Chains A and B, each alone.
Chain A
Amino acid sequence: MAVYNSQHPHMFLRISKPLMLGVAMGLLLTVPVALGAEWGAPARSLAQKIAAVTGPGAVALEVNNRSSLRPAEVEQARGALAAELAVLGVKIVESGQAANVRVTFSENAQSYLWIAQVNQGGDDEKVLMVSVPGARTAGSFGPSSPLNIHRTLLWSQQSPILDATVLPGGNPEHLLVLDGEKVALFSGAGGQWRPEQAFPITHARPWPRDLRGRIVFNREHLFDVYLPGVVCGAVLSSPLSMACHEADDPWPLGAGSSEVRGFFSPARNFFTGVVAPGIGKQNTFAPFYSAAALPRAQYVLWALAAVDGSVHLVDGINDVTPKLPWGSEIAEVKSSCGSGWQILASARTETGDSLRAYEVIDREPESVGIATEFNGPLNALWSKDDGGAVAVERNPDSGKYEAYSLDVACHQ
């Protein structure tokens, strides 16, 4: 119990089939949240302790729940305990001359705690305890409502997710999840993502606080990863591998296929404002957190969410700064609605963050739907090549980071 060893989740499984490139992304898979617990071992342990005090015979059993266990789980645990007691020759009766056993399902900061108070008459009450590892997992989301923005849970984990992306094509589908230590590769099977491989990220300098990073699909070698001061790329070998090197290479802005790239500060959490090859004739802007591209017939209109809270709409000639209630996260999405391209922009709510879709007509963004609320703060928002986006939320209830695939649907 007193030993701690850092986890090194490097798995070296081979990809079962070559990934097929260039095929449109299919339905995304959700990962069921595992609920429930295995009560057999703690029930056996507590039953043995009780039987050691009472010996075989009859006991009156009273069960109380002072934990976050749900009634159904309490019944399961009670049943498991009764079954284990029976195995040890302890029979449960209503009351009478039997010993009284009062079982309380409790919990503390570390674990569940099962307590048995055994009273065989007189003042000599024995108190027995068993610690039961376990933690309440996050609640699931309710059914989707007819909102503009649809989201699908891709993956959740304890460590901060910087980006996630479903690789186009392939059978089965493959999901990449980026955090500060690795890129994890999962394959879709049976409605779940199963881990296939993990590629550790090497870096010489400490990561900046509020670490950011993104995964970009690459048609030649599958994917690239951009982190502050570090660039990684997949190496098509068998098994698949990844190589990282220290570099200040500019990151793709907007969807990964965009030609416009922005330099990211290696020691901060924002883009420096220098872009290459430039937007029109301009290649220097105010430092910004995120960018979204809206293709037009003759040009591309870019929105930049600046560090100072302003929003810049730039097309290479003009730089308009409308007053908008946008947060620092913006991304473009493609849809069959309106002009065909909208901007998703974050905003603060009382309980968490929200995302709202905006249509930009001329240079005036207009809200075109109902905001989608998140329970906690958004940690990342990136456009994807398939026209959708990925958002990462830190769920305040579970403490986990949850990556969602986003797409915009029109009201019918």
Chain B
Amino acid sequence: MITVRTAITASPLTNPSAQPLQELNTIAEIPKEEYILKCTSACAGCSDSLALRYVLKAAGADTVLVVPACCTSVIQGIYPNTAFNVPVYNIAFGAAAACASGMSNAFRAAGKKTNVIVYAGDGGTLDIGIQAMSGAFERGTDFLYVCYDNEAYGNTGMQRSSGTPLGAKTTTTPTGKTDAKKDIDAIIAAHNPPYQATACAAYPQDIFKKVQKALTFRGPTFLHILAPCPPGWRYSTEKSVEMGKLAVKTGMWVLYEREYGKLTISPQSKAAMRKPLPLEDYLAPQGRFKGIDSKTVEILKQRLAKNLVKLAAEEAEP
């Protein structure tokens, strides 16, 4: 991994106003404050709202969420009610990072330290929002961009996005997607942000810690959260956490952090990489992979293995 310091990291390296990091041993140590109240219109078993709950617990009250069109635009509830207890600015599909860019600059110009957090789906990040996001990262915008990834356009009824994995059925890939998932993390890495990480909704403590850490940096930071989706992935609603854990334990999804370009694989994935579960354990319970042919499974396995080798090699770099 080449770590060229850009203008982003030439500014003071960390945010002096940030809260000191808490070392968490148990979930009971996570703050009691709730910013997602108990009246969202999320689907049963929704892991987007689960992940957001911990993102906001880590960020605290001095936070504005910028939300493009996505499931999170819907789960807030219907005007005049909202289930979210931080200011939420809803914005058009491709515009979240640009809107956050203006907001962050305005807050900083006014001397305010308010966290500006984009909370966007995979469609709004990997597809329609990628230009605005790339621009905001290149300009060194002081914000956290969270992409919660349910690997399709969930809000509109599960059409394929560039985040949909190879072989997965969606309403626009009825026989399974023939293209691979876009590697958005590599694209973000190419912008040399001071901090980027992956997470999974099944590991809320990990989300909490990574958000807290991301907010200590000045400049653009990125968190990519895998968010299992019962209606989209076609599994029963009580299995969201199990699906997330299987994604990590099979190595299909790897948890890591990249701080100033230096990769550290998170303990959960380290453990999984020593003896990954067979990929079939992850694919079989999901309706979206029903009837997937063995050749496609083989390609998925090869890519998974290649990715694990690549990440292990990057981590081993001095």
Q: Do A and B come from one complex?
A: no
